[in-house]
DNA sequence: CGGCCATTTGAACGCGCTCAAGCGCGGTGG
DNA sequence: CCACCGCGCTTGAGCGCGTTCAAATGGCCG
């Protein structure tokens, strides 16, 4: 941890994120799990580092609230956002040794997470079959698929394709958009950060967003907010099949 | 499965790959695991498809022998190799639903794999703590770190950086090179395939390989074979810290 | 030998980059 | 209150990297 986190007791406003993860659990396991999360709750204000690349890190982090960037950077300072973490995602930042983080985790907004070690989850496993690890596995599979779609477009897509894909993925992950009729959603990222995600310079993010606007596909006039006007057209440019993407991004079983 | 695989009984030549995975297991678990792998052995000749994107797939695949491309492709036909799978890697091709493959798996050489379902592993779990899933988790963490390094360079690296990284990663994964003094190794990929991995056109792979040769960093004169003459220099161009990469790519515990 | 595929090399294009200037907006302090 | 500053966004100009298209070379196998 590169910043001193704030620890606090379980509070009512986390009923929601807890519920997403405990929905299909046996009640006894669920309550023990909720208690574990509450015990290990950490908060980070927007703009702070959560975990630094190459430093000691918790093995498992439950994203409860806020937007987290999972970054890696080249020696020359160029940053690539590998993935964007939103509740109820689970982050496993350590590599083979289970100790050192392979990634840089950065709070894009105010963030609440719960950090645990693997043995904590083993300690919870009383039901049969073990459900805790099953949940972790499912979230890992979703993250893998998400990163692969992203990587595909970084390697093969044009700027329009990359950006359209990023917007579409976020639209779907935010629940088909907070405002369902207009498919508009808050995007608490500067164009610089969007560029780190899409592998583009901030200048070219600006140009490409305006191009998509001029084509009538999106409305990006409001700052830190995106409205998708033509989701089919955007999917065509992103070179994505919406149904396929939905199946990849959302759990359909435990 | 898009090709009819060949099933066969356990044979002596797989003692090695089995051993890598069973090294730290309790003997009883290890033998049951080896039997499971042997029971579900499949072979694919070079150039054949193993699993197609969007089709039914096994949940867990143990790579025993050969080179496997983990690909994704855009609607327009452009292919990106997300990762390259070598024994003792474990592939989990399905996404959230545990049924449909999110990736296209392709045999680059003759390949031997063993395919199982999650419940098969649950059935093996008799020791405490469960070691099977721990192995799967560790291999998954390694693959995540590998894909992230790759994605970073697809998003932020030049052609030289991407290619140098690909060669370095393979050099390390192949055991610091089969021939330790010259750090030379067989690379059973056409430049077209290397391009799919590095996110470059095959033409530019050719130019960039020659450029690295002219700089004295590698020797690519022999077809399907690479010799690394100056690993430090190559690491500089790949913008990679060799020790860090080694820690990410290799398991240091179970 | 002929045919096929992989590789090499040249030529030219264009996408996305950097550099640079200007604008808009919110926050701060005189 | 307005002046100022800083930051993010926009837009223009020009460049260079990696692309595509095309042709030639080399290697392997029938």
For position B29, what pLDDT does the model report? 79
Encode pLDDT of B49-70 as tens digits: 999 999 999 999 999 999 999 9
pTM of the full predicted structure? 0.92
User: What gap in Å lies between CA B32 and CA B21, rounded to an integer?
Assistant: 12
Nucleotide nearest to B210 (CA to C1'): C8
Q: Nearest Cα to A170, choosing from A43, A83, A72?
A: A83
With CB atoms and an 8 Å threshold, state whether A96 touches B129: no
For position A28, what pLDDT does the model report? 80
Q: How far is the CA of B187 from the C1' of C5 (A)?
A: 18
Which residues in chain A are contacts of B82 at CB distance < 8 A?
A: 148, 151-152
Other CB atoms within 10 Å distance of the CB of residue A11: 10
User: What gap in Å lies between CA B158 and CA A22, rounded to an integer?
Assistant: 44
For position A202, what pLDDT does the model report? 98
3-state secondary structure (DSSP) of residue B83: strand
User: What gap in Å lies between CA B41 and CA B14, rounded to an integer?
Assistant: 10
**For helices A231-238 and A242-249, what crossing angle results, to 10°?**
80
3-state secondary structure (DSSP) of residue A87: coil
Q: What angle do CA B105, B74, B111 make, to 5 degrees?
A: 10
With CB atoms and an 8 Å threshold, state whether A74 touches B239: yes
**Residue B191, CB-side half-sphere exposure with 13 Å CA sphere:** 14
Predicted confidence band at B128 (pLDDT cuts at 50, 70, 90)?
low
Q: Which of A97, A98, A145 sits opposite B102 (nearest CB)?
A: A145
Please state the separation of Cα A4 from the chain's center in Å.
22
Nucleotide nearest to A220 (CA to C1'): D9
With CB atoms and an 8 Å threshold, state whether B138 touches A96: yes
CA distances from B80 to A81, A155, A249, B173, B193 (A): 18, 6, 20, 20, 9
pLDDT for B227 beyond 60: yes
For position A3, what pLDDT does the model report? 42
For position A71, what pLDDT does the model report? 98
pLDDT for B2 beyond 80: no
Q: Nearest Cα to B125, choosing from A244, A167, A134?
A: A134
Consecutive H or E run containing B65 = strand B60-65
For position B17, what pLDDT does the model report? 60
Encode pLDDT of B180-198 as tens digits: 667 899 999 999 999 999 9
Predicted confidence band at B106 (pLDDT cuts at 50, 70, 90)?
very high
For position A180, what pLDDT does the model report? 61
Q: CB–CB of A242/A138 below 8 Å?
A: no
Instruction: Give average pLDDT by consecutive 10-residue segment, chain A, 254 residues.
Output: 41 54 77 91 96 97 97 96 96 95 97 94 73 90 98 98 98 75 90 98 98 96 93 96 92 55
Q: Does any strand D atom come closer than 7 Å to the Cβ of B141?
A: no
pLDDT for B8 beyond 50: no
For position B77, what pLDDT does the model report? 93
For position B113, what pLDDT does the model report? 96
For position B129, what pLDDT does the model report? 67
Mean per-residue pLDDT over chain B, rounded? 88
Q: CB–CB of A101/A51 below 8 Å?
A: yes
For position A22, what pLDDT does the model report? 77
Partners of A179 in the beta sheet? A184
Residue-wise burial string across B93-105, b where 16 or more C-beta atoms lie within 10 A, e elsewhere: bbbbebebbbbbb
With CB atoms and an 8 Å threshold, state whether A155 touches B97: no
Predicted confidence band at B137 (pLDDT cuts at 50, 70, 90)?
very high
**Residue B135, CB-side half-sphere exposure with 13 Å CA sphere:** 25
User: What gap in Å lies between CA A8 and CA A166, rounded to an integer?
Assistant: 34
For position B26, what pLDDT does the model report? 76
User: What gap in Å lies between CA B52 and CA B49, rounded to an integer?
Assistant: 7
Q: Nearest Cα to B68, choosing from B53, B52, B83?
A: B83
């Amino acid at each position: 941890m590169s910043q001193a986190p704030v620890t606090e007791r379980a509070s009512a406003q986390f009923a929601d994120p807890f519920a997403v993860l405990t929905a299909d659990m046996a009640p006894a396991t669920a309550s023990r799990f909720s208690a574990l999360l509450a015990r290990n709750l950490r908060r980070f204000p927007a703009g702070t580092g959560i975990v630094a690349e190459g430093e000691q890190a918790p093995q498992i982090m439950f994203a409860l609230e806020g937007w987290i960037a999972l970054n890696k950077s080249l020696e020359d300072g160029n940053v690539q956002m590998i993935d964007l973490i939103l509740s109820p995602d689970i982050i496993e930042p350590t590599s083979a040794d289970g100790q050192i983080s392979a990634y840089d985790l950065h709070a894009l907004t105010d963030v609440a997470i719960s950090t645990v070690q693997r043995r904590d989850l083993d300690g919870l496993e009383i039901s049969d079959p073990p459900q805790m690890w099953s949940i972790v596995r499912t979230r890992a599979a979703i993250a893998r698929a998400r990163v692969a779609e992203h990587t595909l477009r970084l390697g093969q897509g044009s700027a329009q394709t990359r950006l359209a894909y990023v917007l579409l993925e976020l639209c779907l992950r935010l629940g088909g958009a907070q405002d369902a009729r207009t498919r508009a959603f808050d995007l608490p990222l500067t164009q610089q950060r969007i560029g780190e995600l899409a592998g583009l310079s901030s200048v070219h993010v600006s140009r490409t967003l305006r191009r998509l606007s001029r084509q009538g596909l999106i409305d990006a006039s409001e700052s830190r907010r995106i409205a998708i006007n033509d989701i089919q057209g955007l999917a065509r440019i992103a070179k994505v099949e919406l149904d396929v993407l939905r199946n990849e991004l959302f759990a359909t079983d435990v």
